Structure 1
């Protein structure tokens, strides 16, 4: 561990020039005192590292010195596929390994390419996480990744949406997928290679790895291809409720900022000609009445549900409850009149015109 850190320190100085003890400590994840001890050890071993005092000082290598100890070991080579996703590498327990591999690769490059690599890193940054989302970092992810890599069978207690919500599963883990900051496990029920399913890792309540039982991955199993097929069928499985909705012109043009891409595509494909008021009637695919109500209410008064009647009643009922909740004290007559109007709209759902 210390030998690897000393090499990383030398490579940092070789790649970046002068660095302060505080900067080195931050890069290596150690204390400043540890950096001082490491610098002394390197000097004692004959590495030409020296320091300059003052607020613009720091440590650097003697001009022209370059280490040739830049070979990658197996773990570092395997981590390189995560080079653009340092957060994912850390989740899988490969953060330090990836950092060491990148340092070695940079040190091995000729000077012009090394400088070009540095400019790219300064000017381009990949952040694959969606807005308003936090990185999903389940505590057992590194253990699960080890089981995937070593092909070890696992037993899990899993929380799902359908009843019964907590189930026990014995699985052969084929791979892990990071989708929009959320980790998913792709696994087959133990002993049944055809029953491949996806499981959200954060929903695994308990994980046990059977170190004594391995499994054989199906010949030719392609994790990326499986995931593409899974996504292709996801919306078809999820969006089963077809709602007929009138949308005002301003809201219709604003939908890409308000709904997810699958819903927007369906709305745009189903849009009919504008009516006399400019409103457009569309078909919106939704998951269920319960989940559709908050989605449609979030669009405000510029949408009107026409069908199914159950959904129209649910939207009207929720709107009436909101009015009742915010009714000013002593304003019962006016609020009751508003609620009656909303209730009347709900009862007229079956006769509403498109």
Structure 2
């Protein structure tokens, strides 16, 4: 356990530069006193680590010192081939770079771990896009990625969901790959917004840089934005009765939203063997289409307006088939 922690201290100092004892303790979830002992052990083992005194002080490695990549466990070595997504790297224009990096990394591994890591690549493959979807054209993705790296403002012509087009000057903060679709999180007109990369019609890099907000966290932003997006997409709740077959179809027809609704609100079965569920649905025509997919395995109870629309649609369908 201690050997693993000593290696972690060494790699943290190598990758991050100067770190205080408190920062190391927080990162490793140990006491500051333990960090002191670990640093002393590294120094006694010949690792050139030294302490800088003062308010801006901390521990550092001697300039230019690098340790070889050793000490990886079997599980860690196996995970190397799953850590990157080749499709995403290729779309970003980094496919060749990723391949070169993997070659260098594998070359640094001991022979037995290198063999195990390569066998993972032979037996597992990650395919990001969903089924039955064409590949989106993303001519501006690589330039967007460069703008994110360089904190460079961009001018775009963008097609919105209603097919209207707008021009925007964006400060791109990060790129997100979600279910095969790329999105860019950007600051625009005083607020952080999300844009789908495939809808960027034109893009121009400007000779202007911006200060990236120190408190911006891409993962937190995306999590909050996704939750808000889901609430906007499903503003209505339909109270329905489902047969056992209909209940089993919910995750297939309504995805994660439907599965969560089953988990949170499914009651029953009643005396007829049916289940009462509160299903989030899209507004207007999409809600009607979603519910009609279930055929006779679903009955809408509320709201009354939606129940009437479903009943009217079924009546028209019956009349169509005579």
Q: Same fold (TM over 0.5)?
A: yes
Return 5+ residue gaps in structure 2 as ranges. Answer: 1-79
Q: Which residue of 2 aligns with 1:171?
A: 170
Contact 2:155–2:170 (CA under 8 A) maintained in structure 1: yes
Pairing 1:47-58 to 2, within 5 Å after superposition: none
1:128 CA displacement: 3.2
* 8 Å contact from structure 1 (residues 134, 181) kept in 2: no
Q: Distance in 1 between matches of 2:200 and 2:314?
A: 37
- From 306, 310, 313, the equivalent of 2:305 is 310
Pair 202,273 (structure 1): closer, same or farther in 2 beyond 3 Å: same
Paired position in structure 2 for 1:58: none
Write out aligned runs for 1:181-196 (5 A): 181-189=180-188, 192=190, 195-196=191-192
Structure 1 residue 91 corresponds to structure 2 residue 96: no
Quote the RMSD (CA, aligned, Å): 2.4
Q: Kindly indicate whether the alpha-carbon contact (under 8 Å) linking 1:83 and 1:98 is maintained by their aligned counterparts in 2.
A: no
- What whole-Å deviation, never above 9, does each CA across 1:228-287 have from its counterpart, x for those lacking one? 222233322322111121111222133223321122222342233333322222211112
Aligned residues: 243
1:67-146 aligned within 5 A: 84-146=84-146
- Report how far residue 201 of structure 1 moved: 0.8
| Contact 2:253/2:290, CA 8 A, preserved across alignment | no
Change (3 A) 1:276 1:112: closer
**What is the correspondence of 1:153-302 to structure 2 with a 5 Å cutoff?**
153-161=153-161, 165-189=164-188, 192=190, 195-210=191-206, 212-302=207-297
Is the 8 Å Cα contact of residues 185 and 201 (structure 1) preserved in structure 2? yes
Indicate how the Cα distance of structure 1 residues 317 and 140 shifts in structure 2: closer, same or farther if over 3 A, else same.
Answer: farther
CA radius of gyration, larger in: 1
Q: After superposition, give the CA deviation of every residue in 1:49-88 in whole Å (9 maximum; x if it has no partner).
A: xxxxxxxxxxxxxxxxxxxxxxxxxxxxxxx999521111
Unpaired segments of 5 or more residues in structure 1? 1-79, 328-334, 336-354
